[in-house]
Structures are given as C-alpha cells and as structure tokens.
C-alpha cells in the first residue's frame, strides 16, 4: 500500500508518523515522507525517518521528498503525481487570522485530492472501536469495506451509524426504527438496504458489529457518537455527487474533517491493501 505521509515542524506531525507505524503493523506499507522547503527540508525528513523506524519497526525504506510551496500545494501536487493509496496528514492547528486567510489544512487537502485521506489526530496503541457512517448512497458500501478491512486487521469492533436528519424526517419515527430494526432492514428504502448490506459484509468478515441510529444534525450526531462510544477511528465517505445532496454531504464531511476529536479516514476509493508497490 503506497502511503504519502506529510510531515512538518509542528508537534502534530508525530501523530501522522504514528498512524503510519500503526498501519505498517498490519499492512504492507510503502511510505513516502513529504515536506516543504520552508518546514525544514531534508534534515526534517531524516528526523522523521528516525521516529518512523524506531523500536525495530520494519517496512520498506521511506522515500524522501522536499517540495517548494504551501503544505496544501505540495500534498495535492504529489498526490496526483504519485498514485498513492492513502495520504496521512495532521491538522496544522491554524487559529484566528491564519485560519481565516488560509482555511483548514486538512479540509483543503481533502477537497483537492482524489485519494483517501487519513486525518491524524491521535495514535491509539491499537484500533479497538471503529465507527463508520452510512447513508443511502451506493458509495457507503466502499466505506464499510474500508472499516471492515481495518477491523479485521486489528481485531476491532465496528459500529455502523446512520443519522436520521431532522429535516426532512422521512421515516415513521426513530423510536419505531430502533424498536423493530430487523423489520426496518427489510424495507426497500436505500438507507435500510445499505445498513443491511453493511451488516452482511461485517458478518462475513467475522467482525463484531452493531447498528446505531440517531436523530438530529448529522455532523453533530456523528461527533457525539464518536465521543460517547469511545471510538478510536471514524470512517466517513467523501464521494462525488450531484446537486444539493452533494453540497450537503460535502458540508458534513468538511465539518467532520475539521472537528472530529479522533483520527478520521476520509474514503475516496478503497486502498489497495495488499500491494507494496
């Protein structure tokens, strides 16, 4: 799996390296370390390599790339040139005027690339609980497969979450859906079919799983479930769509990328988990 890891002089860069190390414990990771000239250049990458390969961690030697430009510019350019399976990047922690002028680094990257992005906020010792958001979109199946592969590799459990938006509330009621979930899953509604398919995929992988239904503002309910369920990782789709639905999904994904308190796997396409280059 070809992984691009962006590092800079900020303390949060260690979180990106930590997640790369974590993935390398279970998958054949071929890492590329990328930084900017302004952030420290090749000397910074040498330090990052020492951290990446500490404690006897063994996987292929990382390529080192130094590019001129902002972090968003170099990540985006390299993502299109390098054909990566995954990009790992930590938030820049911009506040005040810097945030107003330049926006969120992680949100800018997610919008600009066609590769899945892992937003590094913390590095658990092991993944135990994974939360994946499911909508009525066919693309939810890809998000569930990503969650399933990660859960299988780490022995984690998966919670499949669907949030019933307050506007519009097209179902007979959340309480009724929860009371008779099995009957709801047999309905023809796209959401019901996606939830049923998610359970079937996770069962086929032998992964402990449950379906959780919540009602409210989608982005807020997802963050609340992350916290209340003590999840280690959020998996959420960022797929190409059309019209107002696409704008709504983009807004939700953008908020989660910026505000989720745990690391967030933003799925564009499913990584090639077994390919080492």
Give whole-number Cα distances, 253 to 89, 147, 212, 267, in Å. 16, 17, 19, 10
Residues paired with residue 67 on neighbouring β-strands, in sequence order: 36
Tokens 């590799």 locate to: 153
Write down the pLDDT at residue 103.
73
* CA dist., res. 144 & res. 131, Å (int): 10
**Can you list the positions of beta strands (E) in the chain?**
2-6, 30-36, 63-67, 86-89, 116-119, 129-133, 157-164, 209-215, 233-237, 263-267
* CA dist., res. 229 & res. 11, Å (int): 27
The string of pLDDT tens digits covering residues 165-219 is 754 444 455 555 554 677 777 777 888 889 999 999 999 999 999 999 888 888 8
Q: How confident is the model at residue 243 (pLDDT cuts 50, 70, 90)?
A: very low
- Smallest Cα–Cα separation from 116: which of 4, 17, 7? 4
Domain 2-119 annotated CATH 3.40.50.620: yes
- Smallest Cα–Cα separation from 88: which of 52, 117, 127? 117
In the chain, domain spans: 2-119, 129-261
Domain 2-119 shares a fold with domain 129-261:
yes
- Smallest Cα–Cα separation from 236: which of 153, 130, 96? 130
* CA dist., res. 50 & res. 46, Å (int): 6
Instruction: Check residues 140 and 4 and name the one with the higher pLDDT.
Output: 4
Write down the pLDDT at residue 205.
95
The string of pLDDT tens digits covering residues 57-105 is 778 889 999 999 999 999 999 999 998 999 999 998 766 655 555 678 8
CATH class, 129-261 region = alpha beta
Are 239 and 246 in contact, with CB atoms under 8 Å apart? Answer: no
Per-residue pLDDT for 221 more than 50? yes
* CA dist., res. 76 & res. 90, Å (int): 14
Are 32 and 63 in contact, with CB atoms under 8 Å apart? Answer: yes
- Smallest Cα–Cα separation from 225: which of 130, 127, 123? 130
Residues paired with residue 88 on neighbouring β-strands, in sequence order: 5, 118
Write down the pLDDT at residue 192.
87
Phi, psi of 72, deg, nearest 5: -60, -40
Pairing of strands 263-267, 116-119: antiparallel
Pairing of strands 129-133, 157-164: parallel
Are 23 and 265 in contact, with CB atoms under 8 Å apart? Answer: no
């Amino acid at each position: 799996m070809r992984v691009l890891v962006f590092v800079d002089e900020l303390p949060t860069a260690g979180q990106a390296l930590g997640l790369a190390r974590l993935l390398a414990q279970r998958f054949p990771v071929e890492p590329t370390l990328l930084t900017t000239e302004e952030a420290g250049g090749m000397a910074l990458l040498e330090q990052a390599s020492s951290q990446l390969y500490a404690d006897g961690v063994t996987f292929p030697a990382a390529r080192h790339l130094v590019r001129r430009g902002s972090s968003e510019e170099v990540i985006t350019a390299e993502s299109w040139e390098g054909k990566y399976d995954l990009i790992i990047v930590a938030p820049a922690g911009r506040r005040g005027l810097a945030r107003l002028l330049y926006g969120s680094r992680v949100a800018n990257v997610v919008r600009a690339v066609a590769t899945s992005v892992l937003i590094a906020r913390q590095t658990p010792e092991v993944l135990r609980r994974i939360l994946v958001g499911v909508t009525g979109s066919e693309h939810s199946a890809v998000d569930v497969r990503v969650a399933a592969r990660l859960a299988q590799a780490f022995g984690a459990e998966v919670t499949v979450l669907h949030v019933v938006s307050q506007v519009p509330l097209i179902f007979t009621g959340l309480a009724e859906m929860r009371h008779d979930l099995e009957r709801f899953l047999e309905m023809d509604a796209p959401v019901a079919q996606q939830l049923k398919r998610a359970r079937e995929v996770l069962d086929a992988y032998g992964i402990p799983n449950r379906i959780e239904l919540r009602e409210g503002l989608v982005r807020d309910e997802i963050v609340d479930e992350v916290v209340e369920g003590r999840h280690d990782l959020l998996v959420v789709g960022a797929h190409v769509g059309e019209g107002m639905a696409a704008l709504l999904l983009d807004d939700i994904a953008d908020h989660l990328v910026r505000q989720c308190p745990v690391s967030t796997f933003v799925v564009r396409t499913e990584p090639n988990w077994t390919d080492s280059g």
